[in-house]
Structure 1
Amino acid sequence: MAQDVVWVGGGSVANLLAVWRVHGLDQIFRRVWQAGVVLGGVSAGSICWYRGGTTDSFGPELRAVTDGLALLPFDNGVHLDSEPARRPTVHRLVRDGVLGETHCTDDGAGLVYRGTELVEAVTEVDGAAGHVVTRGADGEVVERRLPTRLLTAG
């Protein structure tokens, strides 16, 4: 509870979640988040805070992981601009109802929440952005690029 931020790097989201659950860290993270500690991360360290997302934790082919910590009531897509299979996989999983509303990022971009409300997308890389992918009433996938604020030094 004395920390301001918990930052989690990349790796295997499936392994990360399994180890955390074995040691009770899933419940600890929920308590520190509720106390106002900022939780963040990149790649697997992003997906873990959501309901789920796309992962290569199970082998070279991307699949859905659906047992994230669900602190954020959305799904998550990472590496949208740098790994060609990510965007079509997110779109397919949203279209098929495996993933719900999915908040995605290009490399170098991040999403900022207050509680569970998405308040802005930020980036350290000019041109990188956040995206929200949903399934429309007609069943078609809709991807909306978020206005993204470029973070600058100074």
Structure 2
Amino acid sequence: MAASEPTILATSGGHRPGAHTMIEFDALVHHAVELSGVHGRRPRVMYVGTAIGDAEHFTARVTEAARVAGFDLTPLQLFPMPNLADIEGAVLEQDVVWVMGGSVANLLAVWRVHGLDAVFRRAWETGVVLSGVSAGSICWFQGGTTDSYGRELRPVTDALGLLPYGNGVHYDVDAGRRPLVHRLVADGTLPTTHCTDDGVGLVYRGTTLVEAVAETAGKAAYLVEREGDGAVEHRLEPRLLPRP
């Protein structure tokens, strides 16, 4: 089973506190599975925790979240060495890849050492849904804003570039993100940039943005475009997803 065309769900969400577990998958993760078109069997989801150094405690929490959701989870770990003998084969067997947030700068460097930049492009082209939160969102774009280098937000401009836009995450909860996105778009550091409030995701078919979706009411997505020497922002109202 594969999505009908290359598909990315880029988000600032996807997790919530669980009733009987530390976390559960919220509506955005379930929507990534829906986008894959899988039916008649348990969905296969790969969890990639590179951006938080493959923290074992969080891998355990995600494994429990997958059990509750009814997904077959495969963690991809790169520290201290890859846990899978055939990384590309394992990735291509998935319905969905879900990338955790953390340091996008470190994530990109480690992925490139292991050739995952090329692997994920092949997976995207063959219909594996690529998705994730925060760093796991920015990675699919040209770049975005990040605290990977320290407390002061800075641009990252060497992401995988599957999508020809910038990406702004946590747009409503981190006061520094909006003004920095506007400045970076205005001066040409970032191209037109697509941004998400916490709890919002953006669905791309190929490189076309087709829909904004949300697991939290009252949130939005935004397009920030260069206009003259400045930047203009357009609000996109997302479709509210049903609570899983």
Q: TM-score, normalised by structure 1?
A: 0.97
CA shift at 1:139, angstroms?
2.3
Aligned to 2:185: 94
CA shift at 1:96, angstroms?
1.1
CA shift at 1:49, angstroms?
0.4
CA shift at 1:38, angstroms?
0.5
What is the alpha-carbon distance in structure 1 between the residues aligned to residue 144 and residue 198 of structure 2?
16
Q: Where do residues 2-151 of structure 1 align in structure 2 (5 Å cutoff)? A: 2-136=93-227, 138-151=228-241
CA root-mean-square deviation: 0.9
Q: Residue by residue, what CA displacement relative to the aligned partner does 1:72-106 show, whole Å, maximum 9, x if unpaired?
A: 01110000000000100101111111111000000
What is the alpha-carbon distance in structure 1 between the residues aligned to residue 124 and residue 142 of structure 2?
15
Corresponding pairs, count: 153
What is the alpha-carbon distance in structure 1 between the residues aligned to residue 106 and residue 230 of structure 2?
33
What is the alpha-carbon distance in structure 2 between the residues aligned to residue 16 and residue 153 of structure 1?
30
CA shift at 1:153, angstroms?
3.2
SS of the aligned residue for 1:111 comes to strand
> Taking every aligned residue pair, what percent have the same amino acid on both sides?
68
SS of the aligned residue for 1:30 comes to helix
What is the alpha-carbon distance in structure 1 between the residues aligned to residue 193 and residue 106 of structure 2?
21
What is the alpha-carbon distance in structure 1 between the residues aligned to residue 113 and residue 231 of structure 2?
36
What is the alpha-carbon distance in structure 1 between the residues aligned to residue 215 and residue 174 of structure 2?
19
Aligned to 1:153: 243
Q: Tell me: higher relative CO, structure 1 or 2? Use CA pairs within 8 A at least 6 residues apart.
A: 2
Q: Residue by residue, what CA displacement relative to the aligned partner does 1:6-50 show, whole Å, maximum 9, x if unpaired?
A: 000100000000000000011000000000111011110000000
